[in-house]
Structure 1
Amino acid sequence: MSDSRDNSAARRTYSYLGPAGTFTEAALAQVPEAVGQNWHSVNNVGEALDDVVSGRSDAAVIAIENSVEGGVSATQDALANIPGIRIVGEYLVPVNFVLVARPGTTLDQVRVVNAHPVAYGQCHLWLDATLPSHEHIPASSNVAAASTLFNGSIADAAIAPPNIVHHYDVELLAENVGDNPNAVTRFVLVSRTVPVQGRTGSDKTSLIVELPSDESGTLLSMLEQFSTRGVNLSLIQSRPIGDALGRYRFVIDADGHILDERVADAVLGVKRFSPNVIFLGSYPRADKLQITHENRYSNEVFVEARDWLRGLIAGEPETDS
């Protein structure tokens, strides 16, 4: 899909890392409400989030995690430092790459390869085996890696998404150059802060949490806020806060919804523990996995416990349970 869409004021605008043909655009194509709307190509995650906060866009799709490379640090740091953002959905895109060049170039002529750093990291084994003497030039996006071949780049070839051949007149030198055929990138749809949507039973809650001190056992104390309430963490990744050595924040994905009693209680425990908690959102999981838990962590158990405590405080007679 291209950016030549109707700019009617009645249409919503979605920002994505461009230009056309990127994996981010493929993720945006999965967003039902974005079909037929205005798609705005941007150069980086910060620009996409700024579009949302400023109101230039209604929402944006950004990459947040890769199954091979882990969390996308630029996205995690931006979410920690740009207020007023809420994650409202997630989408998974299988990731594979091709090696392309200017027409007439052959594989044995390639000495310098243009590639986004994340893409390069996912293809370096193939590159090292096939082009052992190659040099790498970082690109701002997977599509930009190919497009700059025609804009004076000294690179001989580029690592790019497979559909790049539909957007540029390139020579396809090799297919399936990714080191892991099962690689997947997770993208999130972000908007300005909105009320939390309802539970689906297949949800994820994302937080950013700072530790109160760099002391023995502090991380364990934070993790216990979740474990003692039966909340599984599908992602926990540290990122430096940047104000001093040894100061870290943690990006966390918890299985469940903030409206689940066990998750809400865990988040309250984290809030009491941490000097800074950023709630990024509760939203449906892309994999549709139903979240299960032991009966002792059910909503009813938490409600009964609160009612029991209320009765004690009110002086109500105790009954056999």
Structure 2
Amino acid sequence: MADIRRRIRRIRNRIAGLPIPRVFQDRTNPLEVMSELEVFNRYRFRPPSIIQLVDRAYQSMVRPTSRSNPLPPLLSVLVTLQFLATGTHYIVVGAVHGISPSSVCRAVKGVIKLFAEIGSRTIGFRSDVAACKAEFYRIAAFPNVIGVIDGTHIRVQAPQEYEGDYVNRKGYHSINVQMVCDSSFRFLNVVAKWPGSVHDARIFRESELCQQLESGALNGYILGDSGYPSKPYLLTPYLATRSQKQERYNRAQVRTHVVIEQSFGILKRRFPCLSYGLRVEPEICCTIIVACVFLHNFGLSNGDTLDSNDDFNDDQPEVQLNFEGTRNGLLYRDILAEQYF
């Protein structure tokens, strides 16, 4: 009622030509009035992690001015996290925090862009390659693996330009996102720029990751599904096995590769906006995706990890194949299955 009476008074003052007093709402800090569990359920991060995010982005978000009452960096981060955690409309997020939808829109765009920029600098392959290979080896005794790769479709609204390019094989509009993760569900590489109609193999072929693997800059195997070409550095499963060794290879490859599907599930459960669909332009959608990947990795670094109880031995054997002609991925896979599995 108080809000309605205030609006009526403002309308009467405007009609009468009287000055309209500005009203600044009292913005309560949710971290001070909510429990840690309530904060985690609403924003997907606990208070200490949220404070760290604000500290990392403070200098870029602070808006010193004497003419208005701008959103503080903490509130800008909170409304952005709730938007990503719910995928709801700006008006709903604004009502929860006592701010206008336009303020929510500006805050979300600014914070998302900032987190995406941080993600572009921090998302990368691990420096402890030996530990990464050992962790993958625990899953199904597949040696020398530094990552698993796959693509996932993020639903988007139909864009005004090149609308047909965004229709994927399932019949809805999407962005086809290529990602690589390690055994702890941390993403090591993300390519978010291709419309849904583009095949996974083309995205990989034209990616910087492919160039790094071709040049030998990354030492180890990437595991992919049958949608990718078989390469000496990108190992895929057999569509039809011809021996027990190839069957053992397939079992180990599939059990190890499934980690990327689990990572997609964790990412989309933490940020349901990626499941429900993004109602913004494709370019902004790509920025949101990269920002979510950065926040996902940040959450894992702050204790959101899963323990593995597998009993595989960490001491994986050194894989040295007697192989020449490294361009033939199918032959390389046959020799690997024969000599190791």
- TM-score normalised by L of structure 1: 0.27
> Is the radius of gyration larger for structure 1 or structure 2?
2
- TM-score normalised by L of structure 2: 0.26
Bigger strand fraction = 1
